[in-house]
Amino acid sequence: MAASPHTLSSRLLTGWVGGCAWYLERRAVQEAPHTFMHLFRSINKRWITFQHFTFLKRMYVTQLNRSLNQQVKRKPEPVALPFLEKTSLGQAKAEICEMRPLPPTSLPLSRKPNEKELIELESASIIEGSLDAGKETKDEKHWKEMKLHLDDLPGILARLSKIKLTALVVSTTSAGFALAPGPFDWPCFLLTSLGTGLASCAANSINQFFEVPFDSNMNRTKNRPLVRGQISPLLAVSFATCCAVPGVALLTWGVNPLTGALGVFNIFLYTCCYTPLKRISIANTWVGAVVGAVPPVMGWTAATGSLDAGAFLLGGILYSWQFPHFNALSWGLREDYSRGGYCMMSVTHPALCRRVALRHCLALIGLSTAAPVLDVTTWTFPVISLPINLYITYLGFRFYTDADRKSSRKLFFCSLWHLPLLLLLMLTCKQPPGARGAGAEPQS
Amino acid sequence: MVGFRASRRALLPPLCRAFARPGCPLGPERGAERREAAASRVSGFCPPRKSCRDWIGPPDKHSNLRPIHFYIPESESPLEQKLRQLRQETQEWNQQFWANQNLTFRKEKEEFIHSRLKAKGLELRSGSGQKATLDAEEMADFYKEFLSKNFQKHMYYNRDWYKRNFAITFFMGKVALERVWNKLRPKHKKSST
């Protein structure tokens, strides 16, 4: 019957979600807020950039010399290489501009690095011109032309849409879809994932659009595309619209209207409630937790078409998880929040912050126990999830009592692997369709 | 590979071209003078003459905001001028707010540390010459106090920032539409005559 393909699909999905989640969590761990490493990395990056730049400059200058020899006919007065350094700014620029129309075959390098070198040398010419003002040279090197290179666009849009967070959101939606009763419908699943992904991209882009000056002032967020001027606000908003409209349309007409409505609601909640509320009241954390809870509910409604108890349970698990995760993270960012004007519990109500984190760790145990009661999983689930739930509760308790950076970081990192693992266990313990108890709704 | 890149560039969507600035006819001295005047306001940075785009600089050491040097095209329309002035003014307003905010924070933090250390009976610098600091839990009181003290200021700032951000984006949209229209219009005129 439908049992075997269903079990196979759910096992495949388990494997996929597991792999996805493991990868994401590894990436998240690697990019954990560690100020010293961040500083070291940024210094390292700058040094590498400088070395790379110097290397390219040398390469370009060599090519320039070679091509000038080849192109003697076109240029009336070829400027020899040794004199390039001493020429005035204007003349150096004239050289650059004359270089542009050269056919690619005259230079052995491929076109892309050639262009890059041209751009590098453009900024290099600024340096050469201001060699006298030594101190200013260093600053001027960092000025960049606000030109959108199409090659960079995918990377920029990925960062604008917080692609990793979006991937996590989509995986929680997938988990919701897979945990819902009924036969596993692959086309519906793919449409739901795509629609949710697009909606998440749109919401994240608008969030970044609103927060440019605040993001500039926080270490964690100062390298975002809008902050660095890699993309204009207009393009960011256009991109968000181009994601939101097809995303919601896909969910409404490709899946079902309820899922579409939840998608719109979540975008609104995140962009128009959570984002401004961050600077007004600590209630933003609770609103943000709801935002995180909606995607698995959307996955469930996509599969079943209705808001069952199971949907609320899944939403509840994600809701409760947000608190130990975010409260622990925010503990180490208190200085940035205070300076930037963000109203976070960790700054204004530190005791409440820790209490709420612990409270919700305990809630996770409760919700895991409720899962078999609501026929979402078998009774194996609360048993096998108990160790990890107890562990995160223990760390939550340590955070509550110690209230220091060490315990907050331990709790945060634990939350990163706890959620994917919990969802994985739920999937493996999913209640098989035949064995549903009295509390379940009858299958249509 | 070269062919592929050439064809990819050839397929530049027309919208991108429409959004891009009109061809920069390099004016005579007048353009250079205006550029110089604008440049002097922004940390003495002067973009290369051939460039017809805005330039963005490194983060300011006080405000952490990146200054933008706006390009003034020869054929700047009134709408474009309005947009540029709005962006310039918003940039200065933002710069002032955040520089002030960060400097105040730094100053008050120092004062707080100083007073707390004094209350503890400790020197600002220990015997080894290292600067004595308070740990995060002791600083928490300061962070809470600073946040609540500046709450009203942030409320006004938020409201104004949202208004400006929307206005700038709205005008950017209008300017983009104006450019698209200008690009289409001459062709339309040509075809009608």
**Residues A299, A173: contact at Cβ < 8 Å?**
yes
Torsion angle in degrees (nearest 10) through CA of B14, A153, A100, A63? -160
Of all residues in chain B, the one with the smallest CA distance to A339 is B105
Residues from chain B that touch A350, judged by Cβ atoms under 8 A, are 140, 144
**Residue for token digits 């946040």?**
B147
Model pTM score? 0.71
For residue A371, what are the CA distances in angstroms to A254, A291, A297, A418? 29, 21, 15, 17
Report whether A301 contacts A262 (CB < 8 A): yes
Q: Backbone dihedral region of A289: left (phi > 0), alpha (psi from -120 to 50 degrees) or beta?
A: alpha
- A347–B147 C-beta distance less than 8 A: yes
CATH 1.10.357.140 segments of chain A: 148-281
What is A354-376 written as a DSSP string? HHHHHHHHHHHHHHHHHHHHTTS
- CATH top class, domain A308-432: mainly alpha
| Cα gap B109→A347, rounded to integer Å | 15
The answer, yes or no, to whether residue B166 has pLDDT greater than 60, is yes
Distance from the Cα of B189 to chain A's closest Cα (Å) equals 29
- Higher-confidence position of B46 and A292: A292
| A142 vs B contacts (CB less than 8 Å) | 57-58
Q: What share of chain A in percent tops pLDDT 90?
A: 60
The second-level CATH assignment, the architecture, of A148-281 is Orthogonal Bundle (1.10)
Nearest alpha-carbon partner for A122 in A148, A151, A153, A143: A143
> Please, are residues A84 and A95 in contact by the beta-carbon 8 Å criterion?
yes
- Could you report the per-residue pLDDT of A295-334, keeping only the tens digit for each? 999 999 999 999 999 999 999 999 999 999 999 999 999 9
Cα-flanking dihedrals φ and ψ of residue A144, to 5°? -125, 145
> What is the pLDDT at residue A58?
53
Q: What is the ipTM of this complex?
A: 0.74
CA distance B69 to B57: 8
C-alpha A394/C-alpha A404 separation (Å) is 15
Distance to chain A for B161, nearest Cα, Å: 9
CA distances (Å), origin A50, targets A54, A56, A136, A139? 6, 10, 16, 13
Q: Looking at residues A225-247, what average pLDDT do you find?
A: 95
Q: State which residue of chain B sits closest to A105, comparing Cα positions.
A: B2
A389 touches A353 (CB < 8 A): no
Question: Residue A321: which of A403, A180, A416 has the closest Cα?
Answer: A416
Which pair of tokens denotes residue A339? 């300076």
- Say what the pLDDT of residue A131 is: 52
A110 by DSSP, 3-state: which? coil
Residue A404 to residue B105, Cβ atoms within 8 A: no
A341 and B154 in contact by Cβ < 8 A?
A: yes
The chain A residue lying nearest B20, using CA atoms, is A147
Is A139 within 8 Å of B172 when comparing Cβ atoms?
no
Amino acid A9 reads: S
- Pairwise CB contact (< 8 Å): B105 & A213: no
Closest residue in A to B51 (Cα) is A145
pLDDT classification of A75: cutoffs 50, 70, 90: very low
- Select the residue of A122, A234, A348 nearest B173 (Cβ to Cβ): A234
Mutate: best of A93, A118, A234, A344, partner B, most B CBs <10 A? A234
Q: What is the pLDDT of residue A168?
A: 94
Query: Residue A229: its chain B contacts at CB < 8 A?
Result: 54, 56, 66, 68
Contact residues on chain B for A90, CB-CB shorter than 8 A: 49
Min CA distance, A171 vs chain B (Å)? 33
Give per-residue pLDDT as tens, B112-161.
998 988 888 876 565 555 666 777 778 888 999 999 999 999 999 999 99
* Alpha carbons within 13 A on the beta-carbon side of A50: 10
Which of B147, B165, B174 to mutate to probe the A interface, most A CBs <10 Å? B147
Interchain CB distance below 8 Å, A335 and B2? no
Site from B55, B108, B137 to mutate, A interface, most A CB atoms within 10 angstroms: B55
Q: How far is CA A214 from CA A42, A210, B21, B172, in A?
A: 20, 9, 29, 22
Check B147 against A122: CB less than 8 A apart: no
Q: If you ran DSSP here, which 8-state letter would residue A36 be given?
A: H
Say if CB B67 and CB A161 are below 8 A apart.
Answer: no
Closest residue in B to A272 (Cα) is B162
Number of inter-chain CB pairs under 8 A, A vs B: 138
State the pLDDT at residue A16. 52
- Which residue is it, tokens 């984190």? A357
- Which whole number is the average pLDDT over B50-74? 90
| CATH 1.20.120 intervals, chain A | 308-432
- pLDDT of residue A264 exceeding 90: yes
On the question of pLDDT at A178 being above 90, the answer is yes
From the CA of A1, how many Å to the nearest CA of chain B?
50
Option in A144, A212, A404 nearest B56 (CB): A144
